[in-house]
Amino acid sequence: MPTPFAFSGSTSTGIASAIEAGVRSGELAPGDQLPAVRTLAVHLTVSPGTVAAAYRMLRQRGVVETGGRRGTQVRAAPTVTARLNLRLPVPVGARDLSSGSPDPRLLPRLGPHLRRLEPEPVLYGGEVSPIEPLEAMARDRLAAYGIDPPSLTVTSGAMDGIERVLAAHLRPGDQVAIEDPGWANMLDLLTSMGLTAEPVRVDDDGPMPDSVEAAIRRGARALVVTTRAQNPTGASISAARAKVLRAALAEHPAVIVIDDDHIGELASTEFHPLAGTTANWAIAQSVSKAYGPDLRCAILTGDDETISRVEGRHGLSARWVSTVLQSVLVSLWSDPEVAALVRRARHSYDLRRTTLVEALAERGVGAYGKSGLNVWIPVPDETSVCARLLDAGWVVAPGRMYRVTSEPAIRITLSPLDLAELPSLATSVAAALHPRARSYAV
């Protein structure tokens, strides 16, 4: 049995520092419950206000969260790194369908492209903006979607770009409308920035207009939407939904709109961004799903003010995105064989996704997966369903990681699976949702 954590400190700063140190060391794990304010105050012989202030500091830093009757507990993804690996291991023989990663068999090999490069030395004081060949190719690709952005830059992935846009316009305490269910990392990012998430309901066609309007009425200063392959539901904004949302956003020109097109070229659905309707906007297009998560590049387009602020702040911190990485991306975009591989990957993900959704439907299980790498399955109880699937040899992601107020569900990532495995998985999911009652002899 683990030794109880020794809480300490006589000031709010000291108490908060001790708890944060416990999270870093692994003595306090994600999900661990912290004592009630008055209980810890008595234990440390301090006032309840001192403990409440410590908990408030930790919430603002994204280390803990407070949830009504659940009290205060360590966040599932605290914004401090534990020295211990707290992630539960995947049992031997089980299949890990929880990662959200692309299929490594469908990623291009970077070695040949790296060997072709002969980069010139880049010194301090160089350009923050993308290299000319990358910008030209990016603008050509955007033109195919009918987009001619005023400004364009490159960031170290879509999340980096989104964070920089939010930091360029918002301050701690501001509210941001985000999809619910939505990307788990986005929820954690907002918490770490001191921003408040305003949940927006989602269906197959994207964010629901009434819910977006309600979030804005509640004070949301920004809206972040996933244009295609929404994680975790697979939603993709339709042309009709985009038209309605753009008209609604035009009535709120001060709202910052960010389109996250993380799936990029792997999407078989059309691209209908919302950005450009309000004064400040951005579109983040990642290359990680098609070309590999280690290629930390994303194209960020937007209005002049937003991109100027992003590049200005970038120039003071990370300075620039490696021109070697940018050159590798240019090489990949120029290679017909890589383009053919991306097309094959797109078809493969679509086939796996539709096959699983249909197999589940045949077994009486409803599931969502209009686009992307995942399938979202509503369930009555996440814990019991995940446990039964683990017993059957499948590790899936519980929906609580992606939800604010939406209903329980599980997320299944398809990239590790072959078509032949999908019927067996569908059968296991159906059995986990509808377990047979046991009979006991008297």
CA distances from 158 to 19, 47, 98, 264, 325 (A): 32, 44, 21, 11, 15
Q: What is the pLDDT of residue 3?
A: 56
Distance CA 34, CA 19 (A): 9
Per-residue pLDDT tens over the stretch 103-156? 999 999 999 999 988 878 887 876 777 899 999 999 999 999 888 889 999 999
290 pLDDT higher than 80: yes
CA distances from 367 to 102, 406, 426, 429 (A): 20, 15, 11, 11
Q: What is the pLDDT of residue 314?
A: 82
92 pLDDT higher than 70: yes
Q: Which is more confident, 341 or 190?
A: 341
Averaged pLDDT, 28-32: 85
- CA 49 to chain CA mean position, Å: 35
Question: DSSP characters for 328-379?
Answer: HHHHHHT-HHHHHHHHHHHHHHHHHHHHHHHHHHHTT---B-SSSSEEEEE-
249 in Cβ contact with 281 (< 8 Å): no
Domains and CATH numbers, the chain: 12-74 (1.10.10.10), 95-104+338-433 (3.90.1150.10), 122-334 (3.40.640.10)
Query: Global pTM?
Result: 0.83
176 in Cβ contact with 220 (< 8 Å): yes
- Residues of the chain by 3-state class (helix, strand, coil), percent to 5: 45, 15, 40
Average pLDDT, the chain: 90
Q: Residue 159: count other Cβ atoms within 10 Å of its Cβ.
A: 20
Close Cβ partners of 387 (under 8 Å, ≥ 6 residues apart): none
Distance CA 61, CA 15 (A): 14
Q: Which is more confident, 419 or 59?
A: 419
- Of 429, 434, 360, 423, give the one whose Cα is nearest residue 393: 429
22 in Cβ contact with 28 (< 8 Å): yes
Q: Which is more confident, 84 or 210?
A: 210
Q: What is the pLDDT of residue 44?
A: 92
Per-residue pLDDT tens over the stretch 311-347? 888 877 878 888 999 999 999 999 999 999 999 999 9
Range of lowest pLDDT (114-123, 164-173, 386-395): 114-123
Q: What is the pLDDT of residue 93?
A: 83
Range of lowest pLDDT (1-10, 240-249, 276-285, 369-378): 1-10
2 pLDDT higher than 60: no
Distance CA 22, CA 427 (A): 42
Distance CA 321, CA 296 (A): 8
Averaged pLDDT, 259-269: 93
Question: DSSP characters for 297-339?
Answer: -EEEEE-HHHHHHHHHHHHHTT-S--HHHHHHHHHHHT-HHHH
Q: What is the pLDDT of residue 316?
A: 78
Residue indicated by tokens 């200063």: 221
Percentage of the chain modeled with pLDDT above 90: 68
